[in-house]
Amino acid sequence: MAGAGDWPFAADEAYADSSAIFAELGWANGLAVVDAVGELLPPLDPPGELATPPPPPLDLPETPAGSSADGAASSCSTDDADGGKPAAASTEAASKSLTPGKKRARQPRFAFMTKSEIDHLEDGYRWRKYGQKAVKNSPFPRSYYRCTNSKCTVKKRVERSSDDPSVVITTYEGQHSHHTVTFPRAAATAAGFSHIHAMAALAAAPFSAHQQLYSNLQPPPPTMPLAATTPASSSSLLQLPLHCNHELQVVASCGGYPSSSSSPPASVLPVDKGLLDDMVPRAMRHDG
């Protein structure tokens, strides 16, 4: 597929720490941080400090986003495992159940940080925890979840930032092959989970959408097809075209809001229309 090379997580294994992913995205000044109450939070204080250990020079082996306009294309999709250096551990363990010589295709990853006291945030999908590991340099364990849909291979990792325990780092891997099972839309809205929902929706969006998103995120913003009507000089509002002809607005805080306002501009507010609900045609909302 063309353009897949835009995926910045080519050699995701290089990102020892999830925060490094953001750094790579140029979000070091303020990751996509949302609060469980639905408010987009200003960039975490010491910008970049979230990257627990100073993000090492991300010298991606040979699949850096951009090393190839279309060559590294596969880097993100699945077979990049061969393109870049073999995954440190995300695949081999799985290879246990695979025939020798066959590596599990690596899935694209999408990570975001959420300020919340809850580790495992509701995102509309059902997950089953299959492991928990202590993380080096972090007092908090990392939990591994897998989508309960047997046909869905999406996984997600949840861990707390060692620098800011109030921040939960969620990393999705793969795409859902189905749609959200159930989600208390009203409750979610009431609880202000819109942003989280949006992020989760992103994780569920077609990969092409991811690419779109990331290509938009790539700094410096080229001719960003932004819908932002406000001086999004420091924050970026992205419109993510989805397959169902709806648009999901995602806020990527890249340095805070315009100094003039302490809250997100109206146009940056979450779409309060039931993100997944609107994204997913009702007819398609059958599990599996």
Give the binding range for DNA (CB under 7 A) out of 28-36, 122-130, 255-263, 272-280. 122-130
Nearest Cα residue to 268 out of 238, 242, 241: 238
Q: What are residue 207's phi and psi, to 5 degrees?
A: -55, -35
Residue 118 lies near DNA (rule: CB under 7 A)? no
Q: Which is nearer to DNA, 247 or 287 (CB)?
A: 287
Give the contact letters, 94-113, x = binds to DNA (CB under 7 A), - = no. xxxx----------------
Give whichever of 181 and 269 is closer to DNA, judged by the CB atom. Answer: 181
Residue (88 or 284) nearer to DNA, CB: 88
DSSP E strands, 162-280: 167-173, 235-241, 247-253
Stretch that binds DNA, among 83-91, 203-211, 212-220, 231-239 (CB under 7 A): 83-91
**155 is written with which tokens?**
């996984």
Residue whose CB is less far from DNA, 46 or 100: 100
Name the phi and psi angles at 35, rounded to 5.
-110, 150
Strands 167-173 and 155-160: antiparallel
Tell whether residue 229 is a contact of DNA (CB under 7 A).
no
Of 141 and 255, nearer to DNA (C-beta) is 141
- Cα gap 87→20, rounded to integer Å: 16
Largest separation between any pair of C-alpha atoms in the chain:
59
Contacting positions for DNA (CB under 7 A): 13, 16, 85-90, 92-97, 126-136, 142-144, 148, 155, 157
